Structure 1
Amino acid sequence: MLTNPYSGRAVVRVGIMMSVAIAVGGCVASPQQGGGVSDGSRPQPRNATYACEAGGSLRVESTRGAVRLTDPSGEVYELPAAPPNQTSRFGQDGMALVVEGGEALWMHAGKQPLTCRR
């Protein structure tokens, strides 16, 4: 008797992995010529300021493969692209910045995440 290797749990696992791959693939922005951060609808300027919901602003200077971020308290961080070949996600050492659709999400370990809009 032949058995189907894709039956039962294997089908569920493959389905879940495919769903995750499709969802993640839809979130990846295409690289822009000359560096910069992509917001998915319009080009990100080299320097952008985002107004944060909790007050203050987030300044982002984009370069090829990294950003220099100034948070609302005035702290400055250099964050490399993560992974290196994309233009909307940056992070290291408990810090992450995601820029998409004119919105920036700034996450820093031990602090409340900030949602900011351009």
Structure 2
Amino acid sequence: MMSGRQVRVSFVIPLLLAAGACVPEGGAPKAANAVPPVVSPAVPAPQQPAPPATKITTDLTAPRITTGTATYRCGNGGTITIQNLGTSLRVVGQEGAIEEFAASPANQSSRYQAVTHDAIVIDGREALVMKRGSTPQTCTR
């Protein structure tokens, strides 16, 4: 019995000592390799030009300009045609009624609201159409 406990303790103590040696007293981590790499002073390292800096600018305040027309089939069996004008939508309903929807808020391109408080949310190939006083319906391209 005693030899089994000695074997376990003999494995645990060196592991704890090794872990304690890795943690410095000041709290800063130790370097993994304190020896600097050997560089031959006779052969200079080849100089490569630095790649040009690429600056990516994303202006979230400007709406995306995507114009186009798509026809959507709705859950009630009807269809609507949506013309995307960039900052607004023109929607032609089943009966031929035309309604204008402005981006809401103005700096995005997925949520639109009409003066009548109707709203449309475009998400990929789907449009969620919300009419005042009726259940929202999903229309698909």
User: Structure 2 length normalisation: TM-score?
Assistant: 0.51
**Hey, what does 2:89 align to over in structure 1?**
67
Equivalent position SS for 1:116: strand
Residue 100 (1) aligns with residue 123 (2): yes
**Hey, what does 2:68 align to over in structure 1?**
46
After TM superposition, where is structure 1 displaced by more than 4 Å over at least 4 residues in a row?
none
**Hey, what does 2:34 align to over in structure 1?**
none
Residue of structure 2 aligned with 1:78, choices 78, 100, 109: 100
Quickly say closer, same or farther: Cα 1:111–1:72, change in 2 above 3 A.
Answer: farther
Flag structure 2 segments of 5+ consecutive residues without an equivalent. 1-59
Give yes or no for contact 2:63–2:87 (8 Å, CA) kept in 1. Answer: no
Task: Count the aligned residue pairs.
Answer: 80
Residue 114 (1) aligns with residue 103 (2): no
Residue of structure 1 aligned with 2:78, choices 45, 56, 69: 56
Supply the distance in 1 between the matched residues of 2:98 and 2:135 (Cα, whole angstroms): 17
Instruction: Return the offset for 1:72.
Output: 2.6
Flag structure 1 segments of 5+ consecutive residues without an equivalent. 1-27, 37-44
Higher Cα radius of gyration = 2
User: Structure 1 length normalisation: TM-score?
Assistant: 0.60
Supply the distance in 1 between the matched residues of 2:138 and 2:68 (Cα, whole angstroms): 20
CA distances 1:43-94 after superposition (whole Å, capped 9, x unpaired): xx60001111111111100112100011233321001000001111100332
Supply the distance in 1 between the matched residues of 2:112 and 2:127 (Cα, whole angstroms): 11
Residue identity over aligned pairs, in percent, reads: 35
Instruction: Return the offset for 1:31.
Output: 4.6
